[in-house]
Structure 1
Amino acid sequence: MDPRKLLQLASIIEQGSLAKAAKILLVSQPALTKSMDRLEAELGMTLLQRGPAGIIPTAAGELIYAHARQIKDEMESAQGQIRANAGTDRTITLGTLPTLGSNVIPRAVGRWRLQHPDTLIRVVERVQVELLLGLLRCKFNFIVGQTEFFDIFPDGLKQRVLFRDRLRVYARADHPLFKLEAATLADLAQYPWVCPMVGWAQRNVLEKIMAAEGIKVPAQLVECGSVDFAKSLVESSEHLALLPSHSVSDDSHGGAIKPLPIVLPVMKRDIAVIFRERAPLDQASKDLITHIEALGADLSSGQC
């Protein structure tokens, strides 16, 4: 498929009109019509049809549009990066896990800002797979995520461990489980849990722990991608959550929620900075990573 035709298809669907799309694309309407006829002929299927509200995609057109939209987004992202790099102001785009974005990264940025008051920074939260893909596509200068996520580390990327992250099971301070002399995983399974979506790291750890003990994953689950939501739900109910210790350090010290005295080896993971091998980090990025490393180590050990 010709990428140019795919971009034209995307514009037609988004505008709902051949005439409007042709105007935006700076081509004549007959030329655009001919281009779409050729695309449909190449694929052997109808992609566009005329409806009461204008041009609309067929089912096949919707499928092709989903991919065309990704190409268009990538091109727009590249244009934005080129414009940003061409300017006089330095911009750092950091990708990170949501759990790190709840405490470690904000604190590190606050300290880093004192050193670099004129540098623009963008912080984007994504799951690990999306972080790595974004880094490979040059959407991030570097990312902060977990190691040992793949058996084979992606080519062209390098990583350096910053600190050891500890996952703990958290409950509100007056939760009935704290009254037990020695709570077991079976006891924990009797209560509702708030968990990340299926496929997220903490969810995989929880399922692995339960399966090792022959325990079914609790039936009462709330799935979410927000650490703040999870902490609020744990604090206000009998829900339990498996969270990194650094993400709830303030709450632990304040007494709102506390970790249960259950610690397993599988509940530890390394957090690393990951960057492109051919794109060396500048001093501003290195300074930010230094703060992330120090704060992550302190918060994970309970010193902050």
Structure 2
Amino acid sequence: MDSRQLRYFAAIYEQGSLGRAAITQRVAASALSHHLARLEAELGCALFRRKPRGMEPTAAGRRLYEHARSILKAMKAAEADLRQSGERVSGPVSVGMSYSGVKAIGVELVSRVLRDFPDVQLALTESLSGAALPHLLTSDVDMALIYNPPADSALRSEPVLEERMVCVGRPELIGAGDAPLTFTELLELPIILLRQGVSARALMDDVTLLKKIEARARLQMNSVQAIVGSLEAGLGCLIGTRLFMKDQLEAGTVHARPIEAPTLSRTLYLCHLAARPPTFASDAIRALILSLVRHEVEEGRWDAQLLLD
């Protein structure tokens, strides 16, 4: 298997036919067919089902495409990185962040990249907290700020900060005072959960407590807008961070109370794929992200405890 075979295979997969793939690769369809046949012979399995109107990937073809996409992206990044290593920092860098991360540093990150690294092509992906991990594992992003990632040898994770969770809702629902709610009292409230996708751990560190909350939750939603609207309408309360509901807290439409006995927290990590070496550009963006996070915490705009060295 070589890079050309993978490139041709990926083109056939994405275009759905030999003819359309041949046009994108600027080679004859017969040449693509030849390379595909050799690749299938080497792997010992069919990668496509030939149909009158195109090519349908088999299960093996779908699995290979996930590998091929990651490999080809890494090869392209390595080529660009080394070719320009003696010049200005340049090249594509994709970053994944949760809604809270984008709220805290997203605009400043984009502004600083445009100013300080004009030759870097930044792609910023916002997702719900638990959805950032799949984006990284499928190589859709080069790095991601992820809450409570699993212990996985495929990941290289560095702790960034720890956030205390609070209960947010209308004062008439959760109480207007600032006295902490106990965990037992919290479970008696109509909780609305932000669904975390494949990584429910993104809500908090303690999985045992999380399961108790999930069992008592009134609603689970994937929409930030729907949750904000529901909280303001008094339909329930949220276990989250002050940053997540910062605008609404400052406007006074909702109120926040600490949680104790026990306290709830979550830890934010900056994660990379262990098998993918960093580029000059990704190293520069990593350093910038950590610098921006540190600044926001030290200035008191991100209510958290830094874990950075």
TM-score, with length taken from structure 2: 0.67
Which of 233, 247, 250 is the aligned partner of 1:250?
Answer: 247
Q: Deviations over 1:168-204 (max 9, x none)?
A: 12123332x3289967536535524222234233445
User: Is the contact between residue 221 and residue 227 of structure 2 (CA under 8 Å) also seen in structure 1?
Assistant: no
Q: Secondary structure at the match of 1:56?
A: strand
Whether 1:233 and 2:236 are equivalent positions in the alignment is: no
Structure 2: runs of 5 or more not aligned: 305-309
Aligned to 1:33: 33
Given that residues 146 and 268 in structure 2 are in contact (C-alpha distance below 8 angstroms), is that contact kept between their aligned partners in structure 1? yes
Instruction: Tell me the distance in 2 between the aligned counterparts of 1:114 and 1:16.
Output: 37
Map 1:1-304 → 2, pairs under 5 A:
1-75=1-75, 93=93, 95=95, 97-106=97-106, 108-109=108-109, 116=116, 122-125=123-126, 127=131, 129=133, 139-140=142-143, 144-146=145-147, 149=149, 159=158, 161=160, 163-175=161-173, 177-178=174-175, 185=184, 188-189=187-188, 191-195=190-194, 196-203=196-203, 205=205, 207-209=207-209, 217-218=215-216, 220-224=218-222, 227-271=224-268, 289-297=290-298, 298-301=300-303
Relative to the length of structure 1, the TM-score reads: 0.68
Corresponding pairs, count: 291
CA contact (8 A) 1:108 1:288 kept: no
Shift of 1:217: 1.6
Unaligned runs of 5+ in 1: none
What is the SS of the residue equivalent to 2:172?
coil
Deviations 1:3-33 (A, max 9, x none): 5434322222333332333343344433332
Distance change >3 Å, CA 253–CA 24, structure 1 → 2: closer
- C-alpha contact (below 8 Å) 2:166/2:239 kept by paired residues: yes
Contact residue 234 and residue 240 of structure 1 kept, 8 A: yes
SS in 2 for 1:260: strand
Q: Is contact 1:7–1:71 with CA below 8 Å preserved after alignment?
A: no
Provide closer, same or farther for how the CA distance between residues 86 and 138 of structure 1 changes in structure 2, counting only shifts above 3 A: farther
Contact 2:164 2:266 in 1 (8 A): yes
- 1:254–1:134 distance in 2 versus 1, CA, 3 Å: same
**3-state SS in 2 of match to 1:245:** coil
Larger Rg: 1
Supply the distance in 2 between the matched residues of 1:215 and 1:28 (Cα, whole angstroms). Answer: 59
Identity of aligned residues (%): 22
Contact 2:205 2:265 in 1 (8 A): no
CA-based RMSD: 4.6
